[in-house]
Structure 1
Amino acid sequence: MTLEACAELVSRGDPDRFLAAMAAPPEARERLFPLYAFNLEVARAPWVSAEPMIGQMRLQFWRDVLAEIGAGAAPRAHEVVRPLAEVVRRDGLPLAPLDEMARARWADLERAPFADAGALGDYLAATAGSLMWASVAALGGEEGLEAPARAVGRASGLAGWLLAVPELEARGWPARPEGLADLIGTAREDLARARAARFGPALPAIRAAWRAPAVLARAAHAPEAIAAGGLEGSDFARRGSLLVKTLTGRW
């Protein structure tokens, strides 16, 4: 029930965010790892069983946890719940974006592909977009940063989705809905506009999206690379780009 347990969960289940968090100052990691671990828990909840009722129960568990944290109840004995409660209560973190993340995952219980790119964009806004805003808020980001933070998160979520397309389609999941090219273009524009925002001490949270610009650029310029698995790039380039951005104070 420690920060280390949250970091271990993120290391195994979300290596890109783990690397970004490890590049952040220690005090930022204390806030980011519980949020990233919570994200993993709600993302996995719909898939733990072929029975939707089990997924519903797990998602409701996390919504109940958030309500209890907000009410000041003693946190449950869970490796993620206690560190999450500490972050929320110590830093006055708003619970609404976290609850939005859990509610959005109900869509996964339906096991149905997105009707169009607009539906996919809405899903990414509620999941990755909400997580990014919660992360920025946890590091002291002001309300005026909500819109750009959500836009960066949504774009980062789309980049992650595009990287997963080959595996999704190999499993028979139609992962490229109608209008995907337009969604990619909008995400790139959102990233460009967000660079004007002054994230200040919340920059380590935004840096979790460090791969998004390159992935989205490759997808826009070579759409055929999406299904072919050509968006990934080398591990050396991936880690190197994070190092450069960290050292230069960019994202």
Structure 2
Amino acid sequence: MSLQACAEMVERSDPDRFRVAMAAPPPAREILFPLYAFNLEVARAPWRTREPMLAEMRLQWWRDVVENSAAGETPPAHEVAGPLGALLNAGRLDPAPLDALIEARRRDIEREPFAPDALRPYLEGTAGNLLWAGAGGLGEPESSRPAIIQAGYASGLATWLLALPELATHGRGLAILTPDTIHSLAQDALAALSESRRTRFGPGIPALRAASLAAAMLKAASRDPDAVLHGRLALPEGQKRLRLLWVTLRGTW
């Protein structure tokens, strides 16, 4: 039940966010690593069983952890719930976006493809709330929330498109899977990202760097939708590292 356990989990399963957290000041890592580990646990819950009721129970367990910890109860002795609960106990994380993220993940239990117009609310609920929870935990004011949710949607769509070939094999892709649909989605997310960047952000910038790779992937998807369909969207590791280094040195995202 330690920050180190959360960091190791994120390093194994979410290396891009691991690098984002490591580039942040040490006090910010105390928030970001448990938050990112929590996101992994919740995202996996609907995939770990084929029984909808069991998946619901797993998600409800996390909702109870968030609610009870925010109310001051001692969190479970769990490698992620423990550190996350301690942050909620101390008022360092807002429980609202975490609860909303869990609720949005219930959509994954359905095991059905998305209609294109249903994808944005899902990604705002998952990736958007995750980005806002991190930025808010670092001190970003409530007034920034709408712009951060937009950035989270764009970042979430980039990641979702990266995983689309695998999702499609499990019947969880797009109901209308065509190059035109992918191009349209990528353009919509790029517009949302551009709108978000008009906001002047402050202490939440280290968390916002989790969205720093979105533009490159979305532009690639828009130019060449077939790259998404055939699993060629991933950016080279060197390019990702240089991008994060660049925005960190500049103090931007």
Q: How does the TM-score come out when normalised to structure 2?
A: 0.93
1:153 aligns with 2:152: yes
Contact 2:167 2:173 (C-alpha < 8 Å) held by counterparts: yes
- d(CA) in 2 for partners of 1:250, 1:106: 33
**For residues 1-251 of structure 1, what are the structure 2 equivalents within 5 Å?**
1-114=1-114, 116-169=115-168, 171-173=169-171, 175-178=173-176, 179-251=181-253
- d(CA) in 2 for partners of 1:17, 1:223: 25
Deviations 1:39-76 (A, max 9, x none): 11110111111222221111110011111112211111
Which runs of 5 or more residues in structure 2 are unaligned?
Answer: none
CA displacement at 1:158 relative to structure 2: 0.2
CA displacement at 1:249 relative to structure 2: 1.7
Query: Which of 88-97 and 146-155 deviates more?
Result: 88-97
Contact 2:164 2:229 (C-alpha < 8 Å) held by counterparts: yes
Aligned residues between the structures: 249
- d(CA) in 2 for partners of 1:17, 1:228: 24
Query: Which of 218-227 and 205-214 deviates more?
Result: 218-227
- d(CA) in 2 for partners of 1:146, 1:185: 22
Counterpart secondary structure, 2:252: coil
- d(CA) in 2 for partners of 1:142, 1:187: 23
Deviations 1:82-135 (A, max 9, x none): 211222233443211101111111111111111x11111111010000111111
Q: Which amino acid aligns with 1:248?
A: R
- d(CA) in 2 for partners of 1:92, 1:98: 13
Q: How does the TM-score come out when normalised to structure 1?
A: 0.94
Counterpart secondary structure, 1:112: coil
Runs of 4+ that moved beyond 6 A: none
- d(CA) in 1 for partners of 2:137, 2:172: 35
Counterpart secondary structure, 1:173: coil
Counterpart secondary structure, 1:226: helix
Sequence identity (%)? 50
- d(CA) in 1 for partners of 2:97, 2:172: 28
The RMSD of aligned alpha carbons is 1.4
Which runs of 5 or more residues in structure 1 are unaligned?
Answer: none
- d(CA) in 1 for partners of 2:8, 2:120: 30
Contact 1:129 1:149 (C-alpha < 8 Å) held by counterparts: yes
Q: Which amino acid aligns with 2:171?
A: W
- d(CA) in 2 for partners of 1:126, 1:182: 20
Q: Which amino acid aligns with 1:23?
A: A
Counterpart secondary structure, 1:121: helix
CA displacement at 1:23 relative to structure 2: 0.9
Query: Which of 237-246 and 120-129 deviates more?
Result: 237-246
Counterpart secondary structure, 2:203: helix
Q: Which amino acid aligns with 1:90?
A: A
- d(CA) in 2 for partners of 1:22, 1:214: 22
- d(CA) in 1 for partners of 2:244, 2:91: 27
Query: Which of 180-189 and 75-84 deviates more?
Result: 180-189
Counterpart secondary structure, 1:201: coil
Contact 1:42 1:62 (C-alpha < 8 Å) held by counterparts: yes
Contact 2:66 2:88 (C-alpha < 8 Å) held by counterparts: no
- d(CA) in 1 for partners of 2:174, 2:109: 19
